[in-house]
Chains A and B, each alone.
Chain A
Amino acid sequence: MSQHEISVTVNSRLHRVRVPARLTLVDFLRDVLGLTGTHVGCEHGVCGACSVLLDGRPVRACLLFAVQADGAAVLTVEGLAPGADALGVLQDSFWETHALQCGFCTSGMLIAAHALLQETLNPTRKEIRTAIGGNLCRCTGYKQIVDAIELAAERLRSTNEARSGHGANP
């Protein structure tokens, strides 16, 4: 029943809000902030649709209460795009390889892939499959998703080369 004042940074914007203790982070993002790109699937930590980055690391937003994100920085799928009408390299690669059909898992897949590409721009297909191992997709059979992440890594590598060592972000 308790209510709590929290400060949380979401996609670089600081929010100071009062939340009930039982409000999950994903419900906070969607229902309080209106960021509906993060999806709610199973609500008990199995499907990965609600994945977000918490202080730079991928987590399930349904297994965390908003009050626990007090003081943390959250990145959602909305934060991956360079602008409201533009796609990032990773998102564009998903479009290019038909890595989504219904789109329900896509935001979670993008977050998991983004986390991987922050660590390495040379992932093996096995590493890619491991990185999205916690995200369920019922449409694609996963192959196109792995293709998309591989393509994004390749594009980001060549961008880096073109900029002669100045890093690009996924």
Chain B
Amino acid sequence: MKAVDFDYVRAASIADACRLLADAGEDGKLLAGGQTLVPLLAMRLARPSVLVDINFIAELQGVELDGEQLLVRACTRQATALADARVQHHAPLLAKALAFVGHDQTRNRGTVGGSLANADPAAEIGLAALTLDAEVLARSSAGERRIAVAEFFTGPMTTVLASGECLTAVRFPRRTLAGRVGTGFREMSARQSDFALVAVAVELALGTDGRCRYLALSVGGAGPKPLRVDAVSARLVDTGLADSDLDAAAAIVCQAIEPQTDILASAGYRRRLAGALAAQALAEARDEALDGRA
């Protein structure tokens, strides 16, 4: 349970990190919060020869409002983002999701960008980012690029990031949705703080007539990557979001996903769970929008 020997280098800037990572080649790994990487090192499932520590880079820390965007820099601790009033106000779904990520001791180290780059299909931050139409910023020696979260994940624990690329920030659109907005986040896990067996995230907006104007629903933990279920939006937009509408949407969710059986739960259980959690998350978002609390 001890990591293999490795060289440790501390990057002073993003450019420095990109250069160190490129120098290390395929054997290099970025070290952010370490809450997933260090266990993998301890179990020797990962054996990088060089770790590039990006925790000391000031330009990777913090949250800021940037025009119509809420910018969360990659090494912002999950606990810092969760406590940030701008996150709660401009991306309440992200704040709800962050509360399900691990617990205090891991959120105090774990980073927002690290969770995205790690791409666990049951992770909450990626699920919220997908639902909120966020985009990821990444830098390499070749320059910076923006990647829509919808195109970022390629499968379990894999993303479109190249080996010399460093995720630098994630940008969430600030809500400009017309009408009353509500969000819902529901998850079931074996123990509080574990990765989700299934999680569902919802953001919606109601018009002045109380009818649904906009809706996004995504499911995590029920496939190789988080899945946005557009058929739910098609079914619910322009309805009054009656309980019967939500039940119909839940049935659509059950059909849209292709969950796996693993040691924690069967595919059939995950399918039923996704339907039940979808109905709950939709009701939570609807009721929040009706209350005008969002």
Of the candidates B8, B42, B102, B192, the one whose C-beta lies within 8 Å of that of A67 is B8
Q: Is the CB of A59 within 8 A of B108?
A: yes
Q: Is the CB of A54 within 8 A of B108?
A: yes
Of the candidates B3, B102, B103, the one whose C-beta lies within 8 Å of that of A22 is B3
> What A residues does B109 contact at CB under 8 A?
59-60, 63-64
Q: How far is it, in angstroms, between the C-alpha of A68 and the C-alpha of B171 when the chains are bound?
A: 28
Q: Smallest CB–CB gap between B6 and chain A, Å?
A: 6
Give the number of residues in A that approach B within 8 Å (Cβ atoms): 29
Q: How far is it, in angstroms, between the C-alpha of A144 and the C-alpha of B87 when the chains are bound?
A: 37
Given contacts A57-B79, A63-B38, A21 and B6 within 8 Å (CB-CB) = yes
Give the nearest-CB partner of A56 in chain B: B108
> What B residues does A45 contact at CB under 8 A?
35, 38-39, 106
A2 within 8 A of B: yes
Given contacts A21-B6, A63-B38, A112 and B104 within 8 Å (CB-CB) = yes
A65 within 8 A of B: yes
- Chain B, residues 212-228, CB within 8 Å of chain A (1/0): the string is 00000000000000000
Of the candidates B8, B38, B55, B105, the one whose C-beta lies within 8 Å of that of A21 is B8
- Chain A, residues 36-56, CB within 8 Å of chain B (1/0): the string is 000000011100100100100
Q: Is the CB of B43 within 8 A of A65?
A: no
Given contacts A60-B109, A63-B34, A63-B109, A134 and B102 within 8 Å (CB-CB) = yes
Q: How far is it, in angstroms, between the C-alpha of A130 and the C-alpha of B6 when the chains are bound?
A: 36
A58 within 8 A of B: yes
- Chain B, residues 243-270, CB within 8 Å of chain A (1/0): the string is 0000000000000000000000000000
Other than the given A63-B106, A68-B53, 8 more pairs (CB < 8 A) read A21-B8, A22-B2, A22-B3, A44-B39, A57-B104, A59-B105, A63-B34, A68-B34
Write the residues of chain A forming the contact surface with B, with a CB cutoff of 8 angstroms. Answer: 1-2, 4, 20-22, 24, 43-45, 48, 51, 54, 57-60, 62-65, 67-68, 112, 115, 130-131, 133-134
